[in-house]
Amino acid sequence: MRHLYTNFPYPPEVHDVVKLFFTDAELCDSPEFADIVLTEKQEKGRYVYRAAMGEICSEQSFEPFSDELQTTRLRKRYAKLATYNLLTSVTGKKMPWGSLTGIRPTKLAEQLSREGLDWRKTFVDVLGVSKEKTQLVADIFATQGSLRNRKSGSADLYVGIPFCVSRCSYCSFTSGEIERLKKYVEPYVEALKQDIKKTLQFARNNSITIQNVYFGGGTPTSLSAKQLDEVMDCIDVTPVEYTVEAGRPDTIDEDKLSVLKAHGVQRLSVNPQTFNQSVLDVIGRRHTVQDIYEKYALAKQYGFVVNMDLIAGLPTETYEMFCYSVDCAIRLQPENITVHTLALKHGSKLKEQGYLSEANVEKMVNYSHDAFCKAGYAPYYMYRQKYMAQNLENVGYCKSGKACLYNIGIMEELSDILACGTNAISKRVLTNENRIERAANAKDVITYIQRNEEYLEKKFQLFC
């Protein structure tokens, strides 16, 4: 285990960089017992960062801005950079995203441009980002184009259904198995209906136009057709885009698709995660590869625009097996394909079991990128999370003109979100102040049902 000591006031940011190289790294209180020591000091009007490990050290410095927020941002950026450069020298390893952790690269690129910097050059020369990943950011900007623009006075509506038919071993969401939570499903549907009705009434009263509606979870289609119909009856607006993340193929049937169609849903996710049956069995998905093909065909019969999710780095899935999954997805030609890199957070079975992906996930991600681009898809949004295998990224690909507006808005933090349901987070993007305010609903179903009014009030306060 490596110990990190820092006199810098934001140690978690630096700790994240150290964990890219040493997964078991921990913060400690004294430089005496530390393997890595980061110090910040002010010298001749500059902030100076010195990261040292034994005899090896790395230094970075910058001149502070009059804007305090900007200076804080740079303090974090340079402290991380000194640490990254040190660890690159010590280990000889470079990371695809260099010293960037827990940050949306497209947002940073925009921020750097606002600071008057050439973001591409800064990515490569200063932050250590690879040329390929820098190009990926540029390609995403090109695909998004004017889709990044948001109408003022508008918001997207998110509806969360926190139930699934079984728990996937990599999942850390607060969703629960529907069979186990059976007695709460009806009360949840009732509370959710009230939440949606009151939220839409609030939007109307405050002249907020709902642009896009997104049902996520959990697995929204784990509800019955009747329950879905009741919930969707409450959506008394006509959004530009209406998406349901069905997710699990084993929850899709004709009755539910008819309900979605009747309510104007245009887009549906049918998520394979892998086209290898043995891997599906290992991760606890409880559906077959055949289900994926059948439910995809059914969704297409109903005319939905379909997204398919794949995950790189699943247990037992080799590089060749992952490439096979990518090729299968391409053969089906859904309008969107999203490649996630396995990110194991606390609460997932795999994390508890101490699973560490041994596969070359970077090679997998590179294969998918090349294969999708060759097949006519373009990357259109990306986000990165903590704990992602090999510090990579999740990328959504789309066919021309088929990008999901909700995904761009939420992942790029461009849209205000009015969120309904358990664990749903409403957001207000304060562009001029370069910050986001949030109001989170209860994380568990029971609290949500019992204290719905209280959370509604919090949500409304956010937009008042």
Return the residues of window 174-203 that contact ligand SF4 according to CB under 6 A.
Answer: 175
Q: Which is nearer to ligand SF4, 171 or 232 (CB)?
A: 171
Task: Give the whole-angstrom CA distance, residue 290 versus residue 283.
Answer: 17
Residue 287, interface with ligand SF4 (CB under 6 A)? no
Task: Give the whole-angstrom CA distance, residue 365 versus residue 372.
Answer: 11
Closest distance of CB 141 from ligand SF4, Å: 29
CA atoms in the 13 A half-sphere facing the CB of 334: 31
Distances (CA, A) of 275 to 339, 402, 426: 13, 23, 34
Query: Which of residues 22, 141, 173, 324 is near ligand SF4 by CB under 6 A?
Result: 173
Task: Give the whole-angstrom CA distance, residue 259 versus residue 233.
Answer: 10
Residue 269, interface with ligand SF4 (CB under 6 A)? no
**374-404 core/surface letters (b: 16 or more CB in 10 A; e: else):** ebebbbbbbbbeebbbbbbbbbbbbbeebbb
Query: Which of residues 4, 79, 164, 420 is near ligand SF4 by CB under 6 A?
Result: 164
Q: Which is nearer to ligand SF4, 81 or 164 (CB)?
A: 164
Q: Which is nearer to ligand SF4, 187 or 284 (CB)?
A: 284
Query: Which of residues 168, 178, 196, 392 is near ligand SF4 by CB under 6 A?
Result: 168
Which of 72-80, 164-172, 389-397, 434-442 is the region at the interface with ligand SF4 (rule: CB under 6 A)? 164-172
Task: Give the whole-angstrom CA distance, residue 327 versus residue 224.
Answer: 33
Closest distance of CB 341 from ligand SF4, Å: 14
Return the residues of window 201-260 that contact ligand SF4 according to CB under 6 A.
Answer: 217-219, 247-248
Judged by CB under 6 A, the number of residues near ligand SF4 is 11
Name the residue with the smallest CB distance to ligand SF4: 171
Task: Give the whole-angstrom CA distance, residue 432 versus residue 233.
Answer: 36
Q: Which is nearer to ligand SF4, 9 or 347 (CB)?
A: 347
Closest distance of CB 168 from ligand SF4, Å: 3
Closest distance of CB 283 from ligand SF4, Å: 8
Residue 171, interface with ligand SF4 (CB under 6 A)? yes
Structure tokens at 71: 């200076």
Which ranges in 304-381 belong to alpha helices (H)? 319-332, 349-352, 361-374
For the chain, the distance separating the N- and C-terminal CA atoms, rounded to the nearest angstrom, is: 48
Using CB under 6 A, list all residues that contact ligand SF4: 164, 167-168, 171, 173, 175, 217-219, 247-248
